[in-house]
Amino acid sequence: MADTSGNADTTGSTATGDTGKGPAGPRKSSWKYIGPGIVVAATGVGAGDLVATLIAGSNFGYTLLWAAVIGCLVKISLAEAAGRWHLSTGRTLFDGWASLGRWTSWFFVVYVVIWGFVYGAAAMSSSGLPLQALFPDVMDLEWWAVLTGLVGVVFVWFNKYAVFEKVMTVLVGVMFVVTVYLAIRVTPNLGDAFAGLLPVLPDEKDSILNTLGLIGGVGGTITLAAYGYWVNAKGWTNTGWMKVMRLDNRVAYITTGIFVISMLFVGAELLHASNVAIASGDKGLIQLGDILEDEYGTATAKFFLIGFFATSFTSLIGVWHGVSLMFADFVERYRKDRAGRATGEGKTPAGKATSGEGPTPGDGSTSGEGSTSGEEVASGARERSWPFRAYLLWLTFPPIVLLFQGEPFRLIILYGVLGAAFLPFLALTLVWLLNSSRTPAEWRNGLLSNSMLTIAGLIFVVLCVKQIWDQPWSEFF
């Protein structure tokens, strides 16, 4: 894909605007550096995304294949923008959000507290489902879910980013082999598939909203924002790594596209052709396992369940790590900001308040007392901090109550609204940050990046309004 920033590419370590204090990046982008993209692809594509794509294939055949492809392009632009902010400014994304006003901090903290509580239960349940199906007589679903949560928290607690990335890469390999195998096994009609690349809407009610939903649902919500943090955790902290980051990001969403297109093939061939309907949500994949067993035998069904587990568990540990990094950055930014206000030193080197514009364009500086930098994330200090581990515990232990008692109705509504609002928030704040003097001039958005981010923002605003409209508010009060 073309350079989404619309600016000149970096060619090596001498790129203007380097912000990091460590060694500059490599002179060439290379496959050997790929890593954060694999992590974001694995985390972003959960069981829910695969089921949504299966249902799209089941309902519309190959008609919406083009929408899945556009969804990947949109997410490439969002993740690239987040990574570009981290590398070009030397500041974290939360530091950028905080410069836009305190409302961003309020939104973020309410979002991660409510979202994390409900998501923790959903992620553990999703990871437990395929294990229960593989080992039906061992224990109940709730206990499988608890086990996956405990394994996830122990793994993330005691391992640094490098080990986390290697494990995610192995699990992505499992996901890749399983989804591609299934796509080949169902013998797709390639003529119809290529025809599905033409932008045509299904002739059914709400076809526009269904199409936008598929575009918006291809891999990732808050994990798109976490991408910049994983870029820093990898050790990429300055613009010398910009070309590598862009290659890494494209690999991420090409991989995502392969997962999604493979499952759309399965939906179109296995379900659409025989008018078989499956349930939405994770249980739809259990139904698919039963259908695969009937069609292709027990071995294929077991193989699929292993892939289902890899898909769900990568999302679990990815969120456990990535969102905990973001929460730790939020707490550190808040702590520094308070310390700066107490001492009267909360100024940038350019003399601006830390809640203001940030670094002077092109000077490569970071903001002062209240700022948080990519170098701090790269050092690994965030992964050892108490806020990181506190949020890990929040994601794991309080949600266990929901596994056994059911999810509280009002909380689920708030979870749905906040989740729907996050991607518009991300897209539109990135447009704001990357077109302002907060970003060095040479790394600001070009026409292509602005167009893609604006399209993404508009799509997500429409989906957010629909999600809010569809909530049963009369029962909420």
Q: Which pLDDT does position 386 carry in this prediction?
A: 96
Other CB atoms within 10 A of residue 251 CB: 17
Question: CA gyration radius for the chain?
Answer: 22
Angle at 165 between CA 121 and CA 233, to 5 degrees: 95
Q: Which pLDDT does position 444 carry in this prediction?
A: 96
Q: Which pLDDT does position 114 carry in this prediction?
A: 92
Digit-by-digit pLDDT tens for the chain (477 residues) are: 444 444 433 333 333 344 444 446 675 666 788 899 999 988 888 887 888 888 888 888 899 899 888 888 888 899 999 999 999 999 999 999 999 999 999 999 999 999 999 999 989 999 999 999 999 989 999 999 999 999 999 999 999 999 999 999 999 999 999 999 999 999 888 899 999 989 888 877 667 877 887 777 665 678 899 999 999 999 999 999 999 999 999 988 888 889 989 989 999 998 887 777 787 767 788 888 999 999 999 999 999 999 999 999 999 999 999 999 999 999 998 888 777 777 765 444 433 434 334 433 333 334 445 677 889 999 998 999 999 999 999 999 999 999 988 767 778 788 878 888 898 999 999 999 999 999 999 999 999 999 999 998 998 898 888 888 888 887 776
Q: Which pLDDT does position 25 carry in this prediction?
A: 66
Q: Which pLDDT does position 417 carry in this prediction?
A: 82
Structure tokens at 132: 């229960």
Phi, psi dihedrals of residue 205, rounded to the nearest 5°? -60, 140
Quote the pTM value.
Answer: 0.87
- For residues 195 and 34, is the Cβ–Cβ distance under 8 A? no
Q: Which pLDDT does position 16 carry in this prediction?
A: 38
